[in-house]
Amino acid sequence: MRPSIIVKNAAPPAPPPGPPFSWDAIARELSGLPGGALNIAHEAVDRHAAGPRADHVALTWPDRAGGGKSLTYAELKRQTNRFANVLTTLGIVRGDRLFVLCGRSPELYIGVLGALKAGVIVCPLFSAFGPDPVRMRLELGRGNVVLTTASLYRRKLQKSAASLPDLRHVLLAAEPDGETGVPGTLDLDALMAQASDEFAVVPTGPDDPSFLHFTSGTTGTPKGALHVHGAALMHYATGRFALDLHPDDIFWCTADPGWVTGTSYGIVTPLLHGVTSIVDDADFDAERWYRILQEQGVSVWYTAPTAIRMLMKAGPELARKYRFPRLRFIASVGEPLNPEAVWWGQDNLGLPIHDNWWQTETGGIMIANTIGMDIKPGSMGKPLPGVEACIVSRVEGGGVRIVDTPDTDGELALRAGWPSMFRAYLNQDERYRKCFAGDLYLSGDLARRDADGYFWFIGRADDVIKSAGHLVGPFEVESALMEHPAVAEAGVIGKPDPVLGEMIKAFVALKKDYAPTEALRLELLGHARKRLGAAIAPKEIAFAESLPRTRSGKIMRRLLKARELGLPEGDTSTLEAM
């Protein structure tokens, strides 16, 4: 067994100079706009373009041949100004909505930031969504303009475009050898060429809407969460406290901008810190990822448990072919990070992986293992400065009670008022209101806090299993299975059972070089029983080639369950193609 804590040898970094933490102090580090206005794109781009970092590379798209494309802060300012002017010329005004349906091309980044400058609300979509999820989101979000490419337009939007009453323009970004002159669309390059590269940023207020993000759809139909420009404070603060960004860092966030991590931390946060951010526009490939880490000299890497598990699956030999001398901090979000994965980082990349927790609704990282903290593998860390988290239990008849006793299971709640908090679920006011009890936001995740203040994820309230009087979080069972050398991934569900209430069943994907034999199945059942005890160990284990996941990489336990029980699969718009 591994030790239960990784004690950091390095002395904790000195606290940043200046006054103690307050949101006002953070706001003073940004420049703001006259009259108390705040605009994310001004802070992320123009603030640096006007200063000594103007010629520093903001975004870089490495290609396989060792070349690639880069944009400095000054260039990004000019390009985003052009895009803001394009929108304005088309009659798109403050409060209108731009939907982005693109691969991770420069146009996506320019479009998102340019629209924010114009006060236009941005809704990024996964480019891999099919036509129905695209139409549904555009309809719900009343999109006025879409930025896409000819091939994506043809496949995903053309059929429904005419039936979307709010949709006024479709802008096509050029593709290599792509089609031009598609009827009913506008050529972005041509419009950009005519547009001025000067633009007066719209003076949005901190409470004005900035992004519309749909949730991952892990537990049901995705919800549209509306965010505001004031979130810039949270992104800036968490860039420092959770990701330890410093001016010379090369930062790589592997998330797609189609979900909140890919915009908050793949676009906004690194730019707020004036660092260089790597964009990789291709699908996961273990070898290419290691090469990017090595060749681009990535120093801070933000990724997800599913990616780490896939690297683990690819085997340690591959990792050892590469060297990462500049890599100094690795963080992960999106799902519980199994202790085994934290150790794998330590063993194979020379650094433990720092788990952190947040949601589309929170807009930014809330709980994290920060650089100076000792790590308890399996824990998501402690609340960041400016975040107040607690464990609550629901009280009969409504309301909640804060649970002060350490190590008690309950729902994870946050004191409302952090700057990046979502302000609405689109068209679902009642559902939004139900997320709050007084000034506490209820996350829907179950967790516990230990006596040292570390938070431990148990499971989503929807996924927790009640078996023979025990409340079992799938994460605990999955982590125990992952300790076995054959297991690459595990997904655990509760299956109705007349005796137990729910019976624990595990679906297991194996690492390469392991075969799904009956002997291995029995061995895994025995391993889990030894680790967890009979009450919590799975009674059934089934092998799977891979597990159903959302496009943001989360295991969809509700689908495992629906398939097991022969029930309807519900909304599968975010399901990754398998």
Interacting residues toward Mg ion by CB under 5 A: 215
Confirm or reject binding of residue 254 to ligand ATP (CB under 6 A): no
Provide the β-strand partners of residue 379: 456
| Cβ–Cβ < 8 Å for 380, 335 | no
Q: How far is the CB of 477 from ligand ATP (least distance, A)?
A: 14
Collapsed DSSP state (helix, strand, coil) of residue 205: coil
Q: Which is nearer to ligand ATP, 153 or 357 (CB)?
A: 357
DSSP symbols for 120-177: -EEEE--TT--HHHHHHHHHHHT-SEEEEEHHHHHHHTHHHHTT-TT--EEEEE--TT
Q: How far is the CB of 447 from ligand ATP (least distance, A)?
A: 8
The stretch near ligand ATP (CB under 6 A) out of 247-255, 352-360, 369-377, 420-428 is 352-360
Confirm or reject binding of residue 380 to ligand ATP (CB under 6 A): yes
What is the C-alpha to C-alpha distance for residues 409 and 456, in angstroms, rounded to an integer?
A: 9
Residue of closest CB approach to Mg ion? 215
Chosen from ligand ATP, Mg ion, none, partner binding at 479 (C-beta under 5 to 8 Å by type): none
Collapsed DSSP state (helix, strand, coil) of residue 84: helix
What is the C-alpha to C-alpha distance for residues 210 and 525, in angstroms, rounded to an integer?
A: 49
Chosen from ligand ATP, Mg ion, none, partner binding at 476 (C-beta under 5 to 8 Å by type): none
Q: How far is the CB of 305 from ligand ATP (least distance, A)?
A: 8
Chosen from ligand ATP, Mg ion, none, partner binding at 109 (C-beta under 5 to 8 Å by type): none
Compute φ and ψ for 7, nearest 5 degrees. Answer: -85, 125
Handedness of CA 237, 242, 247, 253 (dihedral sign): negative
Confirm or reject binding of residue 413 to ligand ATP (CB under 6 A): no
Q: Which is nearer to Mg ion, 148 or 215 (CB)?
A: 215
Sole residue written with tokens 């997320």: 435
Write each residue from 43 to 82 as x if it is in contact with ligand ATP (CB under 6 A), else as -, in one continuous string. ----------------------------------------
Collapsed DSSP state (helix, strand, coil) of residue 545: coil
Nearest C-alpha neighbor of 282 from the set 571, 465, 62: 62
HEC sequence for 386-412: CCCEEEEEECCCCCEEEECCCCCCEEE
Confirm or reject binding of residue 126 to ligand ATP (CB under 6 A): no
Q: How far is the CB of 254 from Mg ion (least distance, A)?
A: 20
Chosen from ligand ATP, Mg ion, none, partner binding at 329 (C-beta under 5 to 8 Å by type): none
Confirm or reject binding of residue 96 to ligand ATP (CB under 6 A): no
Sole residue written with tokens 């509306």: 226
Chosen from ligand ATP, Mg ion, none, partner binding at 217 (C-beta under 5 to 8 Å by type): ligand ATP
What residues between 144 and 183 interact with ligand ATP by CB under 6 A? none
Confirm or reject binding of residue 306 to ligand ATP (CB under 6 A): no
Q: How many DSSP H helices and E strands does the chain contain?
A: 20, 28
Residue choice 508, 552, 553, 559 for contact with ligand ATP (CB under 6 A): 552
- For the chain, the C-alpha Rg in angstroms (whole number) is 23
Distances (CA, A) of 502 to 94, 445, 534, 538: 51, 20, 14, 11
Q: Which is nearer to ligand ATP, 4 or 221 (CB)?
A: 221
Chosen from ligand ATP, Mg ion, none, partner binding at 222 (C-beta under 5 to 8 Å by type): ligand ATP
Residue 437 tokens, joined? 């009890």
Q: Which is nearer to ligand ATP, 79 or 552 (CB)?
A: 552
Confirm or reject binding of residue 217 to ligand ATP (CB under 6 A): yes
Distances (CA, A) of 174 to 149, 157, 360: 6, 17, 30
Residue choice 306, 359, 370, 379 for contact with ligand ATP (CB under 6 A): 359
Number of residues lying near ligand ATP (CB under 6 A):
26
Q: How far is the CB of 30 from Mg ion (least distance, A)?
A: 29
Residue choice 141, 143, 206, 336 for contact with ligand ATP (CB under 6 A): 336
Q: How far is the CB of 112 from ligand ATP (least distance, A)?
A: 18
The stretch near ligand ATP (CB under 6 A) out of 174-182, 248-256, 263-271, 353-361 is 353-361
Q: Which is nearer to ligand ATP, 189 or 374 (CB)?
A: 374
Confirm or reject binding of residue 352 to ligand ATP (CB under 6 A): no
What is the C-alpha to C-alpha distance for residues 562 and 509, in angstroms, rounded to an integer?
A: 18
Confirm or reject binding of residue 334 to ligand ATP (CB under 6 A): yes
Contacting residues for 124 by C-beta, under 8 A, at least 6 apart = 99, 100, 108, 112, 211, 213, 257, 258, 259, 262, 263
Confirm or reject binding of residue 554 to ligand ATP (CB under 6 A): yes
Chosen from Mg ion, ligand ATP, none, partner binding at 552 (C-beta under 5 to 8 Å by type): ligand ATP
Confirm or reject binding of residue 218 to ligand ATP (CB under 6 A): yes
E strands, 396-535, in order: 400-403, 410-415, 424-425, 436-437, 440-449, 455-460, 465-467, 470-472, 487-497, 501-510
Confirm or reject binding of residue 357 to ligand ATP (CB under 6 A): yes
- Interacting residue ranges for ligand ATP, rule: CB under 6 A: 215-220, 222-223, 259, 333-337, 355-357, 359-360, 380, 443, 445, 457, 460, 552, 554
